[in-house]
Amino acid sequence: MEFKEAKSKFIQTWGALGSQWGINKTMAQIHALLMVSPEALSMEDIMEELHISRGNTSMNLRSLMDWGIVFKEYKPGERKEYFSAESNIDELARKIAKERSRREIKPTLRVLKDISTIEANESNEAVHFKAKTEELYDFVSRADTMLEKVTEHKENWITKTIVKLMT
């Protein structure tokens, strides 16, 4: 496989994976392109490489910067803005995990806490509902606490232990 084909395949695959971690395909493709580029790219470079509009590029770059995984750079003597991706893969994973927790897990916890505090009347269905939602709340809360501990520190014993277990 030649370089251009491999690069394109990577960008397309990363784009498809994006929906698995809470972002749209184009946003993930921009991220992929920036991640494998040895130098920061301008908005025009990104638009040309991915064949996307200025508005789409701008909106998705802004979102990637909100996630903290893409950064704006300025080059001396240049009026253009340039963009680069987080280069440390561990840091990238940490930032994605924190952002997903903020966007997905925390709101779910709020809902689970709210609905598990209902007054369970005499019906078997209401008692079962309350018990299950309390159980789910406890589980998701523990999982979120564990995720927070792992992502709090760049290098800590929990992270090292998890990495050892995964390899």
Q: Band the pLDDT of 69: cuts 50, 70, 90.
A: very high
Does 157 score more than 70 pLDDT?
no
Helix (H) or strand (E) holding 41: strand 41-42
Q: At CA 93, angle to CA 48 and CA 166, rounded to 5?
A: 130
Lowest mean per-residue pLDDT among 19-23, 42-46, 95-99, 112-116 = 19-23
Tokens representing 49 are 């490489």
Q: Band the pLDDT of 43: cuts 50, 70, 90.
A: very high
State if pTM tops 0.85: no
Q: Band the pLDDT of 164: cuts 50, 70, 90.
A: low
Does 95 score more than 70 pLDDT?
yes
pLDDT, position 158: 54
Q: Is the dihedral of CA 75, 77, 81, 82 positive or negative?
A: negative
Residues 125-134 have pLDDT tens digits of 888 888 898 9
Question: Domain residue spans in the chain?
Answer: 3-85, 89-166
Lowest mean per-residue pLDDT among 63-67, 112-116, 148-152 = 148-152
Domain 3-85 CATH class label:
mainly alpha
Q: Where are the alpha helices (DSSP H) in 19-123?
A: 25-36, 43-50, 54-67, 89-100, 106-116
